[in-house]
């Protein structure tokens, strides 16, 4: 297996390179991002005043929105990219550079947020079980996890002839991988590894750990199938999991 240190270094290089214009990617999926942002904000607001951590915080776009929405709560951004953390600090946001698996807030956070499939990068770097175990450690016994995952069956972009075969291939790979798979891609010359996990496997792990789990399907596609095809073909998956007893 590829060394974890290499995966971390590739991830840092990838997002350092994107830091100057990363918000453009969010704007391309404004409808999706806005709905996910609202779900996250509503959960944080329901627990406020509270502490929340945004892992993979990027330029601080979500942190800034939460600061405005729930000013009585305390937010912290965590990112492996030095340049992304610098962007957050330029906006007056509290952010630290850290590898997620080494990050241990004291006291534990009330809410842990991973948006835009940060979960998928962590699974490649640490494995599914270790990622979920550490997520629970970060929030302690009475916290909430809010995160989305890449749905491998979602057919995106207008060119269905290009993306349908990819979706089918990922489905086959997911079955062969017993619910998990990895794929590598290159963006702007930087290589990055992405992890994909079957939503049912994630749900099983969370429930076995004592979480109450709500699953939301968020529309993501941008072609004529949107609104017509089954949601599994046009949406991504968002989890809201609470460990409160």
- H helices, E strands: number in the chain: 10, 9
- pLDDT, greater one: 48 or 176: 48
Phi, psi of 13 (to 5 degrees): -60, -45
Percent residues over pLDDT 90 in the chain: 68
Confidence of residue 34 (pLDDT cuts 50, 70, 90): very high
Q: What is the mean pLDDT of residues 137-143?
A: 93
Q: What is the C-alpha separation between 12 and 79, in angstroms, rounded?
A: 9
Q: Which domains are assigned to the chain?
A: 4-242 (3.40.50.150)
Q: What is the mean pLDDT of residues 170-197?
A: 83
Residues, the chain, total?
245
Mean of all residue pLDDT scores within the chain = 90
Q: What is the C-alpha separation between 220 and 26, in angstroms, rounded?
A: 12
Q: What is the C-alpha separation between 197 and 174, in angstroms, rounded?
A: 8
Residue 233 has pLDDT above 80, yes or no: no
Q: What is the C-alpha separation between 242 and 143, in angstroms, rounded?
A: 6
Please give the full DSSP string across 229-240, using - where no structure is assigned. S-HHHHEEEEEE
């Amino acid at each position: 297996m590829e060394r974890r240190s290499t995966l971390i270094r590739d991830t840092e290089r990838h997002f350092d390179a994107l830091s100057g214009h990363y918000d453009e990617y969010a704007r391309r999926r404004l409808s999706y991002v806005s709905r996910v942002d609202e779900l996250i904000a509503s959960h944080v607001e329901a627990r406020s005043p509270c502490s929340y951590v945004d892992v993979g915080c990027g330029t601080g776009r979500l942190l800034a929105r939460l600061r405005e929405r729930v000013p009585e709560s305390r937010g912290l951004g965590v990112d492996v990219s030095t340049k992304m953390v610098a962007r957050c600090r330029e906006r007056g946001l509290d952010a630290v550079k850290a590898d997620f698996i080494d990050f241990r807030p004291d006291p534990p956070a009330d809410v842990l947020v991973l948006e835009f499939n940060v979960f998928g990068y962590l699974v490649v770097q640490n494995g599914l079980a270790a990622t979920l175990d550490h997520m629970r450690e970060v929030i302690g016994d009475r916290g909430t996890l809010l995160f989305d995952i890449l749905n491998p069956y979602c057919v995106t972009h207008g060119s269905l002839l290009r993306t349908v075969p990819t979706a089918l291939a990922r489905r086959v790979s997911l079955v062969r991988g017993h619910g998990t798979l990895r794929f590598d891609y290159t963006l702007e010359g930087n290589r990055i590894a992405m992890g994909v996990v079957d939503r049912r496997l994630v749900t099983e792990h969370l429930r076995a750990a004592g979480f109450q789990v709500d699953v939301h399907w968020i529309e993501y596609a941008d072609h004529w199938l949107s609104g017509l095809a089954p949601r599994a073909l046009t949406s991504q998956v968002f989890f809201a999991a609470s460990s409160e007893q």
